[in-house]
């Protein structure tokens, strides 16, 4: 039975991955961020910014969505992540299908993150350090302290910060308690593709439907 | 101790062979029994919807948070001897010391484990089990297994799961009483754990295209990270 308990905890960790950008960074430690790798300050500052957008009550929900979309597209390399999640199936897909998938994936990612992130308040994220895998590949470690019950323990998270061709830092993956988001998504998508004859266009259709569903539910919740 | 080491070596060998036997690769996880696993997974989901989830909802609505926290503390304290045994087997003196301290303090000052003063003293809980110990010894995970009632596992962790019973002092309660004790403990453990993740699980299921594959990946990654001591898995990251 312990397996189930641990798995449920893993789920909690996984969901919190989506919540990271919405974290309250009130207790950010500027001294630490300045002394470490520049990628550390990059993560801490952007977590702050994401939270500000999602909590800016002076924006209409459409404005907030637009700002958050632009923010996320600037901060994360959704093209790189999307191609990675297709695994080997990216090789045999037509350029048109890939383009259609890329748009669908972008919309799906922004919608899912925005909806989930809006639900998390009262958490603090502190960057604790970083490990350099290569000059353009840094893992930034952080700890999220969630509000709530007495038994809440700090959650260990990490961001993988790489560089764009023009040298700008960009996030390509997030990890929470050992679970990488892009890796999990690849497993999900390639399994779908395996069962649908490797059709990337079917996957894109499915993502579009799912994003619409999530948007519908979020809208329903906010109205009710 | 010697016989235990021999026993471990035998398990290691059998798992290495099992690992070699796994031929179907799904992502990074070997899943040669996918067809059977999916059947058990579907049945478990149905059971969850019919029994576990409603019980967890009633439990979290019916009991205030402090009571539920005490339930969690109590259950965690009961499993501490197993954690301690594995801390020792992994040769981690610091972790073993923390666990021993926690058992002592929480069982006394913490009123039989209902409270967790040890965490307040700066000694938070960590989990450990024989699956992690085997992984620490270098044993591969073997084929993925979704076991009815128990949940996601693999050849290594299932072996660890059974072995951990031997480290549990409560396992040595006479058989008749043991059945009811274990049933009560396990039920409480599951209902409490499920109640803490009601929304989380719903949302992950909603955003998954293939929930089975998502669970398989989450489980695999989480275990790798635990074996790695909680540090981000740096070496095996795909280059993208």
Q: At B5, is the secondary structure helix, strand, or coil? A: helix
How far is it, in rounded angstroms, from Cα A166 to Cα A169?
9
Residue-by-residue pLDDT tens, chain A, 224 positions:
444 444 544 444 444 444 433 333 333 333 344 457 889 999 988 887 877 787 778 888 788 888 888 888 888 989 889 999 999 999 989 999 999 999 999 999 888 877 766 665 556 778 899 999 888 899 999 888 765 544 466 788 889 999 988 889 999 998 887 888 888 899 999 999 999 999 999 999 999 998 888 888 766 654 43
Q: Which residue has the tokens 């399994």?
A: A191
Helix axes B65-78, B93-108, angle to 10 degrees: 130
pTM: 0.78
Task: Inspect the interface and report whether the beta carbons of B230 and A156 lie closer than 8 Å.
Answer: yes
Question: Which has more pLDDT, A219 or B132?
Answer: B132
Residue to substitute from B232, B234, B236, interface A, most A β-carbons within 10 A = B232
Instruction: Report the 3 state secondary structure along B103-143.
Output: HHHHHHCCCCCCCCHHHHCCCCCCCCCHHHHHHHCCCCCCC
Burial class (CB in 10 A: 0-12, 13-18, 19+), B148: exposed
Task: Inspect the interface and report whether the beta carbons of A178 and B226 lie closer than 8 Å.
Answer: yes
Task: Inspect the interface and report whether the beta carbons of B193 and A183 lie closer than 8 Å.
Answer: no
Task: Inspect the interface and report whether the beta carbons of A7 and B186 lie closer than 8 Å.
Answer: no
Nearest CA in chain B to A1: B150
N residues, chain A:
224
- For residues B122 and B109, the answer to whether their CB atoms sit within 8 Å is no
Q: What is the model's pLDDT at position A27?
A: 33
Helix axes B198-207, A200-223, angle to 10 degrees: 140
Give the pLDDT confidence of B210-219 residue by residue, as tens digits.
999 999 999 9
- Minimal Cβ distance to B209: which of A81, A84, A206: A206
Q: How far is B84 from chain A (nearest CA, A)?
A: 16
- For residues A142 and A42, the answer to whether their CB atoms sit within 8 Å is no
Task: Inspect the interface and report whether the beta carbons of A187 and B164 lie closer than 8 Å.
Answer: no
Chain A neighbors of B212, CB-CB under 8 A: 191
Question: CA nearest A128: which of A61, A40, A51?
Answer: A40
**Is the dihedral angle over the CA atoms A147, A149, A152, A155 positive or is it negative?**
negative
Q: What is the model's pLDDT at position A120?
A: 55
Q: What is the model's pLDDT at position A144?
A: 80
Chain B neighbors of A183, CB-CB under 8 A: 27-28, 217, 221, 238
Task: Inspect the interface and report whether the beta carbons of B65 and A149 lie closer than 8 Å.
Answer: yes
- For residues B143 and B32, the answer to whether their CB atoms sit within 8 Å is yes
Task: Inspect the interface and report whether the beta carbons of B222 and A131 lie closer than 8 Å.
Answer: no
Q: How far is A186 from chain B (nearest CA, A)?
A: 8
Nearest CA in chain B to A133: B234
Task: Inspect the interface and report whether the beta carbons of A133 and B237 lie closer than 8 Å.
Answer: yes
How far is it, in rounded angstroms, from Cα A178 to Cα B221?
6
A174: left (phi over 0), alpha (psi -120 to 50) or beta: beta
How would you label A57-86 residue by residue, b for 16+ Cβ within 10 Å and e otherwise?
A: eeeeeeebbebbbebbeebbbbebbbbbbb
How far is it, in rounded angstroms, from Cα A203 to Cα A196?
8
Q: How far is B145 from chain A (nearest CA, A)?
A: 12
Q: What is the model's pLDDT at position A177?
A: 79
Task: Inspect the interface and report whether the beta carbons of B193 and A131 lie closer than 8 Å.
Answer: no
Name beta bridge partners: A175. Answer: A158, A180
Chain A neighbors of B200, CB-CB under 8 A: 8, 11-12, 14-15
ipTM: 0.72
């Amino acid at each position: 039975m312990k397996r189930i308990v641990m798995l449920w905890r893993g789920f909690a960790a996984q969901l919190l991955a989506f919540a990271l950008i919405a974290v309250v960074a009130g207790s950010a430690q500027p001294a630490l961020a300045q002394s470490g790798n520049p990628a550390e300050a990059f993560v801490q500052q952007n977590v702050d910014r994401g939270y500000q957008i999602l909590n800016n009550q002076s924006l209409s929900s459409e404005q907030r969505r637009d700002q958050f979309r632009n923010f996320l597209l600037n901060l994360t390399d959704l093209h790189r992540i999307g191609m990675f999640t297709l695994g080997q199936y990216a090789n045999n897909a037509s350029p048109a299908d890939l383009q259609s998938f890329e748009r669908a994936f972008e919309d799906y990612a922004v919608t899912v993150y925005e909806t989930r992130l809006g639900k998390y308040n009262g958490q603090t994220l502190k960057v604790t350090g970083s490990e350099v895998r290569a000059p353009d590949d840094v893992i930034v470690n952080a700890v999220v302290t969630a509000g709530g019950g007495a038994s809440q323990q700090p959650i260990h998270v990490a961001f993988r910060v790489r560089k764009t061709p023009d040298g700008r830092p960009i996030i390509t993956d997030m990890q929470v308690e050992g679970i990488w988001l892009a890796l999990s998504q690849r497993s999900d998508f390639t399994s779908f593709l395996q069962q649908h004859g490797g059709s990337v266009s079917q996957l894109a259709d499915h993502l579009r439907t799912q994003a619409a569903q999530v948007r519908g539910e979020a809208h329903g919740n906010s109205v009710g | 101790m010697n016989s235990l080491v021999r026993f471990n070596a035998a398990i290691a060998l059998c798992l290495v062979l099992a690992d070699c036997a796994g031929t179907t690769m799904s992502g990074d996880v070997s899943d040669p029994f996918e067809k059977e696993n999916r059947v058990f997974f579907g049945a478990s989901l149905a059971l969850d919807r019919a029994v576990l989830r409603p019980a967890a909802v009633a439990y979290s609505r019916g009991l205030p948070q402090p009571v539920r926290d005490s339930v969690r503390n109590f259950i965690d304290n009961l499993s501490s001897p197993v954690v301690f045994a594995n801390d020792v087997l992994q040769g981690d003196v610091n972790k073993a010391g923390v666990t021993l301290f926690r058992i002592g303090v929480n069982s006394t000052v913490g009123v039989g484990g209902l409270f967790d003063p040890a965490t307040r003293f700066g000694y938070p809980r960590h989990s450990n089990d024989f699956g992690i110990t085997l992984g620490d010894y270098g044993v591969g995970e073997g084929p993925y297994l979704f076991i009815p009632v128990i949940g996601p596992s693999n050849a290594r962790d299932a072996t660890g799961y059974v072995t951990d019973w031997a480290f549990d002092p409560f396992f040595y309660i006479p058989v008749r009483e043991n059945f009811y004790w274990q049933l009560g403990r396990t039920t409480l453990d599951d209902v409490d754990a499920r109640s803490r993740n009601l929304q989380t699980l719903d949302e992950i299921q909603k955003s998954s295209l293939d929930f089975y594959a998502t669970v398989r990946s989450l489980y695999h990654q989480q275990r790798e990270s635990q074996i790695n001591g909680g540090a981000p898995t740096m070496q095996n990251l795909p280059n993208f």
